[in-house]
Amino acid sequence: MSAVSAADTTAQDVENRRRLAEAVRARRLELRLSVRAAATQTGVARDTWIGLEEATRRTAETNYAGIERTLQWEPGSVLAILESRDPTTKDAGGERLLLTGSYSQSTPIREVHPADAAIIRIMHNPDITDEQKARIVRAVIAEQQRVGERYADELIAQARSEKP
């Protein structure tokens, strides 16, 4: 390999790490995750996550899967960005959303219904106390019940109007 192509590869690598940093930060903010929460969910140190978002250090391949789970990207998305392609986000509109149980890389992924995703996110948020988590979960459940009751009433009324 010539010195010019080696320099080009290095410049491209730096550019791709910058693209990854921008994509990671934008997605973390879109998901409303703090740096601490994202690092915890991924199973890396906070400084490692900061280095990822600032493009000041290379990301170990062993962290790709955890990053992708945390950011709700399809597997292979980190590598795609590093190869100048775009990440693929998971379809949150589908019946199931992949989340980790305890946010450590050793925990197997399990499938969770999207209706439960908000509560799971609350319960695993390291930035709030257990008392705050309980209060927020109760409020979310109460709102889900209110919305569900209104929706059920609408469906019942609709069914009644369709009767011959």
CA distances from 104 to 7, 79, 81 (A): 37, 21, 23
The pLDDT value given to residue 111? 53
pTM as predicted: 0.52
Vertex 141 angle, CA 135 and 144, to 5°: 140
Report pLDDT for 78. 93
Burial of 78 from C-beta contacts in 10 A (0-12 / 13-18 / 19+): buried
Cα-Cα-Cα-Cα torsion 85, 61, 45, 70, nearest 10 degrees, comes to 50
Which of 16, 155, 127 is CA-nearest to residue 80?
16
Q: What is the DSSP letter of 31?
A: T
Q: How many residues does the chain have?
A: 164
Quote the pLDDT of residue 147.
85
Beta carbons of 115 and 95 less than 8 angstroms apart: no
Mean pLDDT of 18-45: 92
Write down the CATH number for the domain with range 3-90. 1.10.260.40
The whole-number average pLDDT for the span 118-144 is 85
Confidence of residue 20 (pLDDT cuts 50, 70, 90): very high
pLDDT band at residue 114 using 50, 70 and 90 as cut-offs: low
What separation in angstroms does the CA of 14 have from each of 4, 50, 113?
15, 16, 38
Q: What is the pLDDT of residues 43-94, one digit of tens each?
A: 999 999 999 999 998 888 999 999 999 999 989 999 989 988 888 877 544 3
